[in-house]
Structure 1
């Protein structure tokens, strides 16, 4: 499974592409990661266009099975929050344009999946990403956060709904997951 993870930002948006293979995703590796850096003096709508174009390029290059996006945390500055939500929507639209499913994750959920702690720092996330994926070059904390988003999604998807604490998506999934409970 290949997952494109995105850590949205208005000046810097991180991206990370993770591939997992084997039963339960036993092999995990980073295929690509970095950031989309945008000039401070560039109009916000043009930043959104550049993010959209870069996400399309990444999707066309890596052919991910799914895209995972970290949802913006609730901030005090309403204008900043609005801009972050627009970036998130732009990422989702780009993925949907290529007909790729999109999942969203809260920052605490991503951090807990990778470090075991929902309030881990960016440096703790980077430390664990290096250990888990064997990445050696530091391409910024936004890039490591995006790898964490991708890895969290890949692990949750391959573990299935029971392992992640979620319910089956529909009755067919429930029956498949619980054959002994159906008469």
Structure 2
């Protein structure tokens, strides 16, 4: 394998999706030398569309455009939780299915994670709030506060990608992180060292 090809193979790009029928959150992270960094986070705003099938079309096409633009190899999505409102569950299930179909259409490796699993993976607390999840996303990826999305849907999408990073075997150093705690334990210098300069991160609130 050539040097350039070897370096490219050591980089993983993961697209995370938080499905929804009003807002679809998404985040792309890149993992190089076992270190994750944020590429983009944002939301697809579906609130202006009354037709539920138009919403599904927008979810499908936006997911495809994210895949085509950022070229992820892996796709992580928050799976459906079981609530009391059957209609809401049905709508959410459709939104999730359409996003998965887009990933399958582009031949991505697809992984589903329950909300509880994502919360436990990032914080060690299955009852963690969205605010806590967003803060852990910011700390782990070393994102400046002013560069964070104002939508928790976006940070939830990033959280799905990070959860997959923790749960999957890293192809560079053959390590496996099962939680944020594991990552901190094995990367103390990376986590504790303060950032010297602000980092520009692309945020995106697509319409």
| Structure-2 residue corresponding to 1:138 | 148
Q: 2:90 aligns to what SS in structure 1?
A: helix
How has the CA–CA distance of structure 1 residues 58 and 162 changed in structure 2, closer, same or farther, with 3 Å as cutoff? closer
Pairwise CA distance, 1:158: 2.5
Report how many residues are paired: 161
CA RMSD of aligned residues (A): 1.7
Pairwise CA distance, 1:39: 2.3
C-alpha distance in structure 1 between counterparts of 2:142 and 2:153, whole Å? 17
C-alpha distance in structure 1 between counterparts of 2:50 and 2:143, whole Å? 32
Which stretch shows the higher mean deviation, 152-161 or 125-134? 152-161
> Which aligned segments of 4 or more residues in structure 1 are displaced greater than 3 angstroms?
159-164
Task: Determine which of 14, 17, 28 is the counterpart of 1:3.
Answer: 14
Q: 2:40 aligns to what SS in structure 1?
A: strand
| Structure-1 residue corresponding to 2:131 | 123
The alignment's TM-score, normalised by the length of structure 2, stands at: 0.74
Q: 2:168 aligns to what SS in structure 1?
A: helix
Task: Determine which of 71, 96, 100 is the counterpart of 1:92.
Answer: 100
- For structure 1, the 5+ residue unaligned runs are 165-183
C-alpha distance in structure 2 between counterparts of 1:2 and 1:48, whole Å? 25
- For structure 2, the 5+ residue unaligned runs are 1-11, 179-207
Pairwise CA distance, 1:100: 0.7
- The answer to whether 1:50 aligns with 2:58 is yes
